[in-house]
Amino acid sequence: MTKYRINKTRFVDQTKTVSFTFDGKKYHGFEGDTLASALLSNGIHLVGRSFKYHRPRGIMSCGSEEPNAICQINDNTDLTEPNVRATEIELYEGLKASSQNCWPSLNFDIGGINNLISPFIPAGFYYKTFMWPKSFWKKIYEPLIRLSAGLGKSPTQPDPDIYDHKHEHCDVVVIGGGISGIISAKIAAKNNLKTILIEDKNILGGSTIYQNNKNFIIDNQKSNEWLMNEISELEKLDNLIIKTRTSLAAFHSYNYLLAKENISDHLPLDKKNGSIRQRLWKIRADKVIVAAGAIERPLVFNNNDRPGIILANSVKKYLDFYGVSTGLNNIIFTNNDSAYETAVSLFDKGISVKIVDIRKRSSSNIVKNAEDLGIKIYWNSTVVNTFGYKKIKSIEIMNLSEDGSNVTGNKHKIQCDCLSISGGWTPMVHMHTQSGGKLDFREIDQVFVPSEKSGNHINVGSCNGDFELEEIVKNTNNKVKKFLNINEGSFDKISVICSKESEKKNIWLLPNTISESKTKSFIDFQNDSTAKDIKLALREGFKSIEHVKRYTTTGMATDQGKLSNMHALGIIADTAGVKMGTLGTTTFRPPFTPLTFGAIVGRSVGKFFDIVRKTSIHKWHVQNNAKFENVGQWKRPWYYPINNENLHEAVQRESKAARDSAGILDASTLGKIDIQGSDASEFLNRVYTNAWSKLGIGKCRYGLMLNEDGMVYDDGVTTRLGENHYLMTTTTGGAANVLFKLEDYLQTEWPELDVYLTSVTDHYSTASICGPNSKKILKKLFPNKDFSDEAFPHMSYQDAIIDKTECRIMRISFTGELSYEINVESKYGKSLWENCIAAGEEYKITPYGTETMHLLRAEKGFIIVGQDTDGTMTPIDLQMDWIVSKKKYDFIGKRSLYRSDTIREDRKQLVGLLTDDPNEILEEGAQIVSELDKKPVEMIGHVTSSYFSPNLNKSIALAVVKGGKKMNGQKLFVPMENKNINVTVSDFIFLDKENKRINA
Amino acid sequence: MFVINCPYCGERDQSEFSCGGEAHIVRPKQPTELSDDEWAEYLFMKKNIKGVQFERWNHAHGCRKWFNMIRDTSNDKIHAVYKMGEKPPVI
């Protein structure tokens, strides 16, 4: 046993040794230890350097509030994890941990120089200092700041661990497995309510489980023994789920809870493999009982941050729970009775202990107990300084003046190797406020307590501001019974004896003899903000607590101010001379403790990150070397390279083939909406800009859909299949939104219309064959069909049979070529496609992808919604006046087309651009200017589509330019990083303006 | 994350729904008769109040029906849920 492992407890199995390394050195602890308790048992206090001044820091607490002991785990691998709290991580065989924020080593840290120059780096230092010269920012200041910013090292490899999500519904959730949580869970579960008890530690019991002081008696037993029996009874209850190692991350409204369960973090490395690491529980509960407990406050005095200064109740936990003494010569510095329990515990183990108390006296049983044992108590005294660089060696104390605002008398120096501090308790009201609850300020002991109006949750125990054992037990019992409508409970006749505190005193910033500017009284230990930083912020005019917080970074570290927020508030209130209750608090945001990204995303990683949609022809594309492009969730063939062709070469070949002979495109991804009902024609009249009533059965028409603000929303061809039956196509990416919008109008604005909409995108697969030889290929596929222009004109459709399967043939074109689209039920898609390829072989039918499709339509000046439009383009801007019906009384967006803004002549309008050098290809998104000399240069538009056209043998581009309609022939410039490209505005239809090819 | 009582399906998680903004704004029957200002009033001027608000909601990942909801935006308390076309209940 090590020098500091002085006690045997039931919680640490001292027969099972566990070895681990810290900063490369090997140590031993036992099963049941945390990393922190194991380090302390080896006499190690110094575990890290502080963020700003690089001061040596030691373990300060035993839980999630720990500001200093944050470690890097598995430091030598690519899968290292930073900022793990040593006080929370359970020791396992092979654990490798190291300190953070120090270089070259924990014991000798160059950054420690910041401590010496600290008078020159006050709060707001970065805001004030790196202002000038401006040119220094990018090369000098920013890299410097980045070097010193951040805690720990990030892993460089993807996380290989498995994370899980699970949904759960129940009657009651109890948050916290301390004494009040255990009482609540038992009452609920015994009354046939399905109950979940959540506890973040590995065992239940909270701080009562190691409360072995004889002053705390329940039903004639020591409180820890009583609770032990209760826990074993609890474990027998059927409708109670106990979730240990599970921490509540968030408590949202409507009792929706997120809780993270650690499943394999505590297991030795060889046993972790393959098992789930963490599970995020998503719980919807009828009622929630918060029993989250309280966190002990530190005290704020000069040099209150040295290694060896530890919260008093944590000292007791290390002693009575882990069997570890944090020092052999202890001083306790307190403003309340609870620290006396620590003193008595230390004394019982034979460890030297003295007490410094800021109060003049206290008459409670526990204080009397300490006095009777002969423990030396310095009443009405405060610590004014501490000594020892890497570990505390001694302290200086002085008497307090009558009102506590100053110190009097002589300094008295006392040697020690551990200083236990206690500034009282802060109820954990995070859960309550996260769910929308408000807080009240209680003057007597300076705490914020939950204000419960009504609702489906209550707070019990110390998170409700009940700190004495008797009131915890009795109030919890009464409150839970009332909350759950239960008349009789198991705890109605319980007898509790405990020490009661009557004298209370609190001083947020303890007085000193030396001037404040020369002290370092830390409030936020992790972010190194001190009392004088807070006061500086106030002097500089910051008044709101939220502003002071951000300016001084108090409470903004990974511990989220669990130890610091109350002191910051108190010092602001005292300095500004206002009542603390009037200041409010900063917002308590989830998560309560940091969550891993793994737990947040769960199984939704890699292939499961998002849905991937593939057409029925996908396999053929893969076999034929297609490169794919993501369009929404769809995988669409982008181009089909042959013999190491690059994108450009493949697209040039494909587009030439499509215009010279025949090309084939998988168009299955286009959105398809089946529209039926006696008002279907009227409905289309209202949603499209053009007229639909006179469209004959068997005919197709292109339609443009606007938003109510007049801007182009979507486009596509709609076919009239029958008197009251249409098939609408939409853009691939817009399908879901178009359906959503159409349903909205049908249900809310025009419920009188008899129209039914069905999404049939996935029902059909589409092969689109285009090119001068396409008709010949169609004839081979459908020998019995008449494809003459008279029998089957452009913009019409016919039913047909292929391979005994029904299909629809639409003669429509997005390329400007003679073109047919064949639709079959999806399951026959691949077979249809292979038939088309076989039939087209003699014409060298060439499969082409989206890139070639974009090029072909750009040659023809057809827009792509979303590429050539951006939600600010009207059909008039797109020079598509021909599609806007003048006769129709109304359609979606009509009125907006003649608002004062939409009729402006200098709006951005669609134009064609030709580069003076026909081989120069513009970059899509490039900006367009008319004058190069004018400064600042005015941007008058941008390039929306740009390609090299193999059919025209020159570069072509579509662009939107202010007032572009009237600029035909005008010279403009596209300034790039190294040069200005000269361009000429042209017609945006580059090829076959007479529409001859469609009927070729 | 609240629970919404869809008038067609019953209680479901908020993640199944999408909000469509302020309710009871009727599309003008004769938009062409309106001045620019009047049309702009319909088109752009939506309330976003702290307190009790009338909203349109859609059960997008469920029955896809639109309905109305009275919600207090300050605490997400839902006062009432009612079908499209129905008069809002008095709260």
Q: Mean pLDDT per 10-residue run, chain A (1000 residues)?
A: 87 95 94 97 92 89 94 81 93 92 71 69 65 69 65 85 95 97 97 97 96 95 96 94 96 94 91 89 97 97 96 97 96 97 96 97 94 96 95 96 93 97 96 91 93 88 96 96 92 94 92 90 91 91 88 86 91 90 84 91 92 97 97 96 96 97 97 97 96 94 96 97 97 94 96 97 97 97 96 96 95 96 97 97 97 97 95 96 92 96 95 96 96 89 97 96 96 94 97 90
What residues of chain B lie within 8 A of the CB of A252, using their CB?
1
Mutate to test the interface with A, among B66, B74, B75 (most CBs of A within 10 A): B66
Chain-chain contact of A747 with B40 (C-beta, under 8 angstroms): no
> CA–CA separation, A42 vs A48, rounded Å?
16
Contact B84 A748 (CB under 8 A): yes
Residue A120 makes CB contacts below 8 A (sequence gap 6+) with none
Which are the contacts of B73, defined by CB distance < 8 A and separation ≥ 6? Answer: B48, B49, B50, B51, B52, B53
- The pLDDT, as a whole number, for residue A139 is 73
Contacts of A740 in chain B (CB under 8 A): 58, 60
Would residue B31 count as lying in a domain? no
Residues from chain B that touch A744, judged by Cβ atoms under 8 A, are 20, 58, 66
Q: For residue A180, which amino acid is it?
A: S
CB-hemisphere CA count at 13 Å for A100? 28
What structural domains and CATH numbers belong to chain A? Answer: 1-158 (3.10.20.440), 162-294+427-497 (3.50.50.60), 298-423 (3.50.50.60), 514-591 (1.10.10.1100), 668-765+790-843 (3.30.1360.120), 904-999 (2.40.30.110)
Q: CB distance A895–B34 less than 8 Å?
A: yes
Both tokens assigned to A221: 């037993």
Q: So what's the pLDDT on residue A1?
A: 58
Query: From the centroid of its chain, how far is CA B19?
Result: 7
Residue B32 lies in a domain: no
Q: Evaluate whether residue B89 is within a structural domain.
A: no
pLDDT at A683 (0 to 100): 97
Q: Return the closest-CA partner of residue A958 out of A924, A992, A982, A908.
A: A924
Residue B10 maps to a domain: yes
- CB atoms closer than 10 angstroms to residue A84: 22
State whether A254 and B2 contact (CB < 8 Å): yes
Residue B46 lies inside a defined structural domain of this protein? yes
Other Cβ atoms less than 10 A from the Cβ of A880: the count is: 19
Predicted pLDDT at A149? 60
Q: Is residue B91 in some structural domain?
A: no
Q: Which long-range contacts (CB under 8 A, 24 or more apart) does A432-438 make?
A: A432/A251, A432/A290, A432/A457, A432/A459, A432/A463, A433/A585, A433/A587, A433/A588, A434/A250, A434/A251, A434/A252, A434/A588, A434/A589, A434/A590, A434/A592, A435/A251, A435/A252, A435/A253, A435/A255, A435/A288, A436/A253, A436/B75, A436/B76
The total of other beta-carbon atoms located within 10 Å of residue A886's CB is 6
DSSP class of A789: T
Domain that holds residue B7: 3-26+38-83
DSSP summary character for residue A899: S
* ipTM tops the 0.95 cut: yes
Number of domains in chain B: 1
Q: Is A889 in CB contact (< 8 Å) with chain B?
A: yes
Please indicate whether, in this complex, the C-beta atoms of A894 and B60 are within 8 angstroms of each other. no
Across the interface, of B1, B20, B26, the residue whose CB is closest to A256 is B1
Alpha-carbon distances of A894 from A695, A890, A909, rounded to whole Å: 21, 6, 18
Q: Are A197 and A242 in contact (CB under 8 A)?
A: yes
pLDDT for A619 equals 98
For residue B14, tell me if it sits in a domain.
Answer: yes
Binding-face residues of A in 712-741 toward B, CB within 8 A:
740
Q: How does residue B60 score in pLDDT terms, banded at 50, 70 and 90?
A: very high
Q: Residue A500: count other Cβ atoms within 10 Å of its Cβ.
A: 16
- CATH number of the domain that B67 lies in? 3.30.2270.10
Encoded tokens for A664: 């084939």
> Of B84, B20, B25, B29, nearest to B56 (Cα)?
B20
Which residue of chain A comes nearest to B78, CA vs CA?
A: A254
As given in the structure block, the two tokens for residue A871 are 């939600």
Instruction: State the best of A254, A283, A434 to mutate against chain B, taking most chain B CBs within 10 Å.
Output: A254
pLDDT of residue A128: 65
With CB atoms and an 8 Å threshold, state whether A751 touches B58: no
Q: Is the pLDDT of residue B28 over 80?
A: yes
Tell whether A453 is within 8 A of chain B (Cβ): no
Contact residues on chain B for A748, CB-CB shorter than 8 A: 56, 66, 84
Q: Residue A323 corresponds to which tokens in the numbers above?
A: 């069997």
Out of A743, A889, A899, the one facing B39 most closely (by C-beta) is: A899
Two tokens, residue A932:
């190069």
Query: What are residue A562's phi and psi, to 5 degrees?
Result: -60, -35
Answer whether A379's CB lies under 8 Å from A361's CB: yes
A359-378 in b/e form (b: 16+ CB < 10 A) is beebebbbbebbeeeebebb
Contact between chains at A744 and B64 (C-beta distance less than 8 A): no
Continuous segment of H or E residues that includes residue A777: helix A774-781
Whether A284 and B13 lie within 8 Å, measured CB to CB = yes
Q: Cβ of A253 and B2 within 8 Å?
A: yes
Q: Would you call the peptide bond into A772 cis, given omega within 30 degrees of 0 as the criterion?
A: no
> Is A160 an interface residue toward B (CB < 8 Å)?
no
Is the CB of B20 less than 8 angstroms away from the CB of A436?
A: no
Partnered with residue A635 across adjacent β-strands are A630
Answer yes or no: is B60 within a domain.
Answer: yes
Measured distance CA(A382)–CA(A734) in Å, rounded:
70
